[in-house]
A and B are shown apart, each in its own frame.
Chain A
Amino acid sequence: MNHAFTTVMKRELAGYFATPVAYVFIVIFLVMTGVFTFYLGNFYQRGIADLDPFFRFHPWLYLFLVPAISMRLWAEERRSGTIELLLTLPVSLWQAVAGKFVAAWLFIGLALILTFPMWITVNYLGDPDNGAILAAYIGSWLMAGGFLAIGSCMSALTRNQVIAFILSVVICFGFLLSGMPMVLNLFANWAPQVLIDAIASLSFLAHFSDISRGVIDIRDLVYFALVIGFWLVANMILLELRKGE
């Protein structure tokens, strides 16, 4: 693998565990998934052995938790001035952006893996479709990548982490809601069907719900890859334009 990219990624990943950020995040993530699944998701009352109540709330958890991870990615480098150190090393902008992104993505992946007691529970209680569960895990992780790429880009805009957080939540919220009737109804009466379809097709929820039902469609994978790619390229352009400010 690319040496400079790996170097940046390893440093970032180690950085999460050098501070309490990693532990706080993982604990909150596990507690919240538990609360949502068992209380709001009626995991037991449904009487069905699957993880749908677990995955159904992931988009809403990510909406706040992923920006909390991504807000420091670049804002912190800008505030402390280390961006000047990093970007004058023989590391290309792409390697730096991708290294930071992948480190954060792997970290969220770790938090996701640590929800495995949920999977054990459902297997203990019944006989779920483990292939569908695996697909849903992959879909969830891909969606987290989409949120993360948006957050990374917003973090490059400012040296203030709070601003980065709020901007990320707002944009992620837009992406989440774009498939919901409350948004689509705004357009339904006047916009051409093509536009409505386009807006609906941007929805994280629609693409995630396909995968979480256990159907890995190549179109959904391409969709998340495009979302991640688009926001990371925007991230690079923003950095290039504004790194000196």
Chain B
Amino acid sequence: MIEAIDLCKKFADITAVDGLSFEVKPGEVLGFLGPNGAGKSTTMKMLTGFLPPTSGSARINGRDIGEDSLAARRLMGYLPEGAPLYGEMTVIDFLEFIANARGLNGAAAHSAARAAADRLHLERVLYQQIETLSKGFKRRVGLAQAILHDPDVLILDEPTDGLDPNQKHEVRKLIQDMSSDKIIIISTHILEEVEAVCNRVMIIAQGRLLADDTPAGLIARSRYHDAVTLVIDQPEQIASALSELPEVSKAELNEGELTVFPAGPGLFDAVSKAIASHEWDVRELRLEPGRFDEVFREITGGQVS
């Protein structure tokens, strides 16, 4: 379990992280979501023991990251922001170095390095110098070093940054495969990624925790949640007709799409019936799950920092 207690970090005159407290349990894939400069990376740097907090503390499976730092660090795998690597080393040398530093020796180090490389599909570039690799490969080498010792806790700062859609899919699958018994924290500003891999989301802006919920719970906060959108001819007429229904609170027109918002349950059925009885020619009809980007903007107040 990870326990963060009132974590604060101040740099000279700016407060990067301002009193974050949370717990994460095994099996949870927690997404840190927030605008750039929100304090996501700084929080991760404190959790992994790289930066000492200005105040507050964090414990990894009961080990304090400040007082029992080495023991806490052994439990974690970490991909720092931008996936920094020793460019002059070959992939296999680098992974074996990490394995050695993690206390593995000789054959055990080599097989752990190979296994991690296989999981990230690095077989082809094992003996290539890291600085000659593409961005996608570098990111995967960074991920391989993080998972190499099969840690209880994985902290990944923007794990899919710079990957193409196929590689993103692969990495997300890897995270899901590992998630059952581990604690995984990822930071991202890609909303779809949170929906794809996380079962918990913390929205952070200006160093403060603004929301802590499941992705579904967050999406349900959207005003679009359970709204119905239609694509039809003559939307104005139909909008006024639908507004009469007791289940409809409001109808909005937007770029040829008509969205009606619910006043209570049963909106979709009511709209379907109305369509059938009036024999409207509907080209598209969909139930809105809610819009994540809208919730995100609302919670973070549209800040650009």
Chain A residues close to B by CB (< 8 Å): 3-4, 7-8, 10-11, 14-15, 18-19, 80-82, 84-85, 87-92, 243-244
Contacts and interface: CB of A to CB of B under 8 A. Distances in A.
Interface residues of B, number: 31
B80 A84 contact: yes
A51 B249 CA distance: 98
B21 to A, nearest CB: 22
A87 B93 contact: no
B78 interface: yes
Contacts of A90: 70-71, 73-74, 101-103
A11 B97 contact: yes
A88 B76 contact: yes
B82 A89 contact: no
B228 to A, nearest CB: 49
A242 to B, nearest CB: 11
A14 B89 CA distance: 9
Given A3-B100, A92-B70, A243-B50, 11 more contacts: A15-B86, A18-B89, A80-B86, A81-B82, A82-B85, A85-B78, A85-B80, A88-B49, A88-B50, A89-B73, A244-B50
Interface of A is mostly: helix
B80 to A, nearest CB: 4
26 contacts: A3-B100, A4-B101, A7-B97, A7-B100, A8-B101, A11-B89, A11-B97, A14-B93, A81-B80, A82-B84, A84-B45, A84-B50, A85-B80, A85-B85, A87-B49, A88-B48, A88-B49, A88-B73, A89-B73, A89-B98, A89-B101, A89-B102, A90-B70, A92-B70, A243-B51, A244-B45
Contacts of B49: 87-88
Contacts, number: 70
Given A88-B49, A244-B51, A15 B88 contact: yes
Contacts of B80: 81, 84-85, 88
A7 B81 CA distance: 24
Question: Interface centre among A15, A80, A91, A244, by most B CB within 10 Å?
Answer: A244
A19 B101 CA distance: 22
Interface in B100-145: 100-103, 105, 129, 145
A80 B101 CA distance: 19
Nearest to B80: A84
B256 interface: no
A89 B45 CA distance: 12
A80 B80 CA distance: 12
Contacts of B145: 85
B87 interface: yes
Contacts of A91: 101
Interface in B209-242: none
Given A85-B80, A90-B70, A19 B88 contact: yes
A15 B84 CA distance: 16
B198 to A, nearest CB: 22
Contact of B87 (A80, A88, A92): A80
Nearest to B11: A244
Nearest to B93: A14
Nearest to A86: B101
B66 to A, nearest CB: 12
Nearest to B98: A89
Closest 3 CB pairs of A and B: A81-B84, A7-B100, A84-B80
Given A84-B45, A88-B76, A11 B86 contact: yes
Interface centre among B48, B74, B97, B101 (most CB of A within 10 A): B101
**Which of A84, A87, A244 has the most chain B CB atoms closer than 10 A to its own CB?**
A84
Contacts of A3: 100, 103, 105
Contacts of B103: 3-4, 90
